[in-house]
Structure 1
Amino acid sequence: MRHTALSLALSGLLAFTAVGCAVTRDQSTVGQYVDDATITTRVKAKFAEDKAVSAMALQVETLRGTVQLSGFAKSSAEKSRAGMLAESVPGVKQVKNDIVVKP
């Protein structure tokens, strides 16, 4: 009985790990997926550290080193600052700043 429970737990863990590292469409390798995830995390961290940018109102997605920013900014200065912060992260090849400034 213990052996069966352990087997089920390990199977679940392996399934979770496989799903967690899944390569999405347009990504060719797991390494590329990890690189993109690292870039996304670093951009979000820069947003969280910066007082001029609202990290909670902005979304970050990365695909093959291209960072796409979206969400709502309070001003054009905040939108520009978010773009500059994203560009400063190592590994970023391009930034698509789709942030909308609230009227």
Structure 2
Amino acid sequence: MKHTAATLALSGLLAFTAVGCAVTRDQSTVGEYVDDATVTTRVKAKFAEDPTVSAMSISVETLKGTVQLSGFAKSTAERNRAAEIARGTPGVKAVKNDIAVRP
């Protein structure tokens, strides 16, 4: 009986720890974390497909559906195109464009 109780307690602790580690940056659920990761991946993939945007020079982070773009663009047109792509991505609620133009 002791062994079973200890096993159950350890299993519960591990489950609680695993769920606690998955949620970061003030997100309220694991689902939000997964959704944000999916949005980030979609935006980065669209950047890689677009000949105007340098996917390697622009960082993408998503928190609760808000995408933050940072890094460097070679022109204002590239900066604007990156924001346009992000806004057109499913799951994006808002875009914060912090890309600096560095010719």
Using the TM superposition, give the Cα deviation of residue 84 of structure 1 relative to its aligned residue in structure 2, in angstroms: 0.2
Aligned length: 86
The match for 1:91 is 91
Give ranges in structure 1 of 5+ residues lacking alignment: 1-13
AA at the equivalent of 2:40: T
String of CA shifts for 1:19-59, please: whole Å, max 9, x gaps: 8x611121000000000000000000000000000000000
Q: Calculate the aligned-residue CA RMSD, in Å.
A: 1.5
* Aligned counterparts, 1:10-25, within 5 A: 18=18, 22-25=22-25
Q: What SS does structure 2 have at the residue aligned with 1:42?
A: helix
Q: Which residue of 1 is the match for residue 29 of structure 2?
A: 29
SS in 2 for 1:62: strand
- Counterpart for residue 81 of structure 1: 81
Q: Percent identity?
A: 77
Match of 1:54 in 2: 54
TM-score relative to the length of structure 2: 0.79
- Look up the equivalent residue of 2:89 and give its one-letter code: V
Does the residue aligned with 2:56 lie in a helix, a strand or coil? helix
Query: Normalized against structure 1, the TM-score is what?
Result: 0.79
